[in-house]
């Protein structure tokens, strides 16, 4: 990490060495994340130190476009985790609607999502399997908070297996070929490096600008308000709030 980046982090009260943090968790990140260990240039580390959100696109080994969004948040990792997962306080793109399906449970849910696209393009839809990674948390000495998702392995055939009530939630759309990603929270000395990584291939002859917007806009919007959301978690995550499962495998206790 460069001298300037270290100074900026210190001046903001953000005592975090991005490079040291990632190196310290290299083994569990390589083991548990399909995307491997995140990397940042000197320029990106400087921007993170200035409190900026860093957005970029990488190419995966199989030629897919990986969206990477990162930022430093000054809050307890549990507060950041709740801010990301609490559907009542953050939202998706206005073009996306979603419904939780049967078989879902805390830390492991199945989610039907439908994406509305402007005419004459056909809408898209898919079912995600979303999981809280308790193994990454345990193997990293409780320093990796990870939430991942991928297309349900049962594929489009799953839609025909839904019960009558759930089938009424399904809208017409083209099944997407790929949708996978993760949220990472890596705490260090009172702050956390937060990383979103995702690959979304919505298929068909879709303009690159639309694919980019769909794959990153919701996450980018959330990132831009994540510090405020996390700071407000202790005020609203009380005994009356629906419990949220943490990566320890236990519900996070109210503040």
- Residue 247 included in any domain: no
Query: Across the chain, where does the E strand assignment appear?
Result: 54-59, 65-73, 96-100, 108-115, 124-132, 145-151, 174-175, 178-188, 191-201
- Where is average pLDDT lowest: 28-37, 64-73, 208-217? 208-217
Domain membership flag for residue 126: yes
Is 116 contained in some domain? yes
Least confident of 32-41, 166-175, 207-216: 207-216
- Mark 229-244 as b/e (b = at least 16 C-beta within 10 Å): bbebbeeebeeeeeeb
Residue 89 lies in a domain: yes
Name the nearest CA neighbour of 88 among 229, 185, 198: 229
- pLDDT band at 2; cut points 50, 70, 90: very low
Give the 3-state secondary structure of residue 59: strand
Give the structural domain span for 214. 3-236
**Degrees to nearest 5, angle at CA 151 with 112 and 32:** 130
Model pLDDT for residues 64-114, shown as the tens digit of each residue: 889 999 999 999 999 999 999 987 655 556 778 899 999 999 999 999 999
Judge whether 241 lies within some domain.
Answer: no
The 3-class SS string of 116-165 reads CCCCCCCCEEEEEEEEECHHHHHHCCCCCEEEEEEECCCHHHHHHHCCHH
pLDDT for position 209: 66
Q: Say how far apart CA 88 and CA 104 lie, in whole Å.
A: 18
0.85 cut: is pTM over it? yes
| pLDDT recorded at residue 222 | 86
Other Cβ atoms closer than 10 A to 120: 5
**What's the alpha-carbon Rg for the chain, to the nearest Å?**
19
| pLDDT for the residue numbered 206 | 73
pLDDT of residue 208: 63
- The DSSP bridge partners found for residue 111 are 100, 128
**Hey, what are 24's tokens?**
């310290």
Looking at the domain assignment, is residue 246 inside a domain?
Answer: no
Here the CATH number for the domain that contains residue 92 is 3.30.530.20
Within a domain: residue 154?
A: yes
The total number of structural domains that make up the chain:
1
Kindly state whether residue 91 falls inside one of the protein's structural domains: yes
């Amino acid at each position: 990490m460069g001298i300037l980046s270290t100074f900026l982090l210190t001046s903001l009260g953000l005592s975090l060495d991005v490079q040291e943090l990632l190196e310290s968790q290299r083994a569990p990140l390589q083991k548990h994340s399909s995307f491997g260990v995140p990397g940042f240039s000197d320029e990106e580390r400087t921007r993170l130190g200035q409190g900026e959100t860093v957005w970029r696109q990488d190419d995966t080994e199989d030629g897919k476009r990986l969206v990477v969004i990162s930022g430093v948040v000054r809050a307890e990792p549990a507060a950041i985790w709740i801010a990301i997962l609490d559907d009542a306080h953050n939202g998706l793109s206005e073009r996306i609607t979603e419904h939780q399906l049967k078989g879902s449970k805390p830390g492991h849910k199945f989610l039907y999502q439908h994406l509305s696209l402007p005419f004459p393009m056909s809408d898209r839809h898919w079912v995600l399997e979303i999981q809280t990674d308790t193994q990454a948390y345990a193997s990293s000495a409780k320093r990796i908070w990870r939430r991942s998702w991928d297309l349900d392995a049962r594929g489009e055939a799953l839609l025909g297996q839904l019960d009558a009530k759930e089938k009424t939630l399904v809208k017409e759309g083209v099944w997407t070929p790929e949708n996978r990603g993760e949220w990472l929270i890596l705490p260090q000395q009172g702050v956390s490096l937060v990383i979103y990584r995702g690959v979304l291939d919505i298929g068909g002859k879709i303009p690159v600008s639309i694919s980019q917007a769909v794959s990153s806009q919701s996450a980018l919007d959330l990132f831009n308000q994540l510090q405020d959301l996390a700071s407000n978690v202790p005020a609203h995550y009380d005994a009356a709030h629906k419990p949220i499962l943490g990566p320890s495998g236990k519900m996070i206790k109210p503040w």
